[in-house]
Structure 1
């Protein structure tokens, strides 16, 4: 898989997706043409049910578009099977969800180095840098279920960026945090993603969180307005 530093991280060409809803066809994405360049950060806003999470899932390969083409790092995904998708996710994708999805039997350090272990790599200076910046260096041996929500979200961010992915997909990453904790997490997320050279596409309902991104896509009635 070639990875050109100049290729757009994500290119959507005429992407369309809809659902049958009790006999009614409901179009959520209508011929979207969009791209995200290396290092760009994009907030994705829009009313509930407008298809924001669907768009994230299509880019991550968790759902398929009905038509159109998705290219990632300059490679068309049209003929990708499970092996290609797995390789892309392992090497080039980080995800942060509102539910932190941490691996509960593992401690903090093992959660953070999990994506590295899939690549045959281990804890490194970058991991040290992440835990220090995120203020969780003292917690690395702690079981994740013993952490507060804010601490768990910081672990989730460290894990998502541990392998310095080209792309981070975030779905309401501050949804469960109070305003102060949310602001702090957003500042850290933007700073650390920039340090990693990672592009961000973040679904959010929060105007405050959206303002941390350099671009804003508003999805409504199947179309994106920037």
Structure 2
């Protein structure tokens, strides 16, 4: 059976201009991310790992090349189309959590549901239970520990059952024990929904949870 492509990159280049200097961060990348893949993306600081995630998520455009998501060419997508795709098909876990601090835990988890005109459901109950958040649902997120906030971020990213989870150093602010526990839960919950993962990490321990490994160096990917 032919594998279904979630992400297809063809000759993707990303350049930044600083005065009269042109810096090429991504250099004619060609990559395929199949449904069900869990991929660790490693590389030195400043190598372009977060930039690659931002290009795939549509937060910033590539300088050249073609990006296909779920078989759709994104070249002519408007901002509205990108927002629709992210709301429906993409989950993102940021290193700094990026939780909505005026809201409580339940409202943060349910935020992507609201964007899709959906309501809290059994899957959200399951996420909260597995991540140990059920007793905290009414607590405001600024009153949580770093590990608890990261669990909320993971629950929020998975609440709408996305096709693809992009995670940028999701355990970077946690100690080793908490990192392993969070990674195990994130991978198990993603597998339950067949959500594919692209994980940016400096941690070999975290990378070992993924079934594929990409290394970004000098704008190129080695697997």
Aligned to 1:202: 199
Aligned to 2:57: 60
SS of corresponding position for 1:9? strand
Aligned to 1:95: 92
Mapped partners of 2:175, 2:118: distance in 1: 35
Mapped partners of 1:7, 1:193: distance in 2: 17
Mapped partners of 2:169, 2:163: distance in 1: 20
Task: Map 1:163-174 to 2 at 5 A.
Answer: 163-174=160-171
Aligned to 1:212: 209
Is 2:14 aligned against 1:20?
A: no
Is 2:32 aligned against 1:35?
A: yes
Offset at residue 24 of structure 1 (A): 2.6
Aligned to 1:152: 149
Q: Deviations over 1:116-138 (max 9, x none)?
A: 01111111000011011111111
Offset at residue 197 of structure 1 (A): 1.3
Offset at residue 7 of structure 1 (A): 3.5
Q: TM-score by structure 2 length? A: 0.97
Is 2:111 aligned against 1:114?
A: yes
Offset at residue 6 of structure 1 (A): 5.6
How many equivalent pairs are there? 222
Q: List runs of 5+ in structure 2 lacking aligned partners.
A: none
Is 2:45 aligned against 1:48?
A: yes
Mapped partners of 2:21, 2:79: distance in 1: 31
Mapped partners of 1:7, 1:197: distance in 2: 12
RMSD: 1.1
Mapped partners of 2:17, 2:3: distance in 1: 38
Q: Deviations over 1:15-51 (max 9, x none)?
A: 0111223433221111111011111111100011111
Q: List runs of 5+ in structure 1 lacking aligned partners.
A: none
Mapped partners of 1:7, 1:86: distance in 2: 23
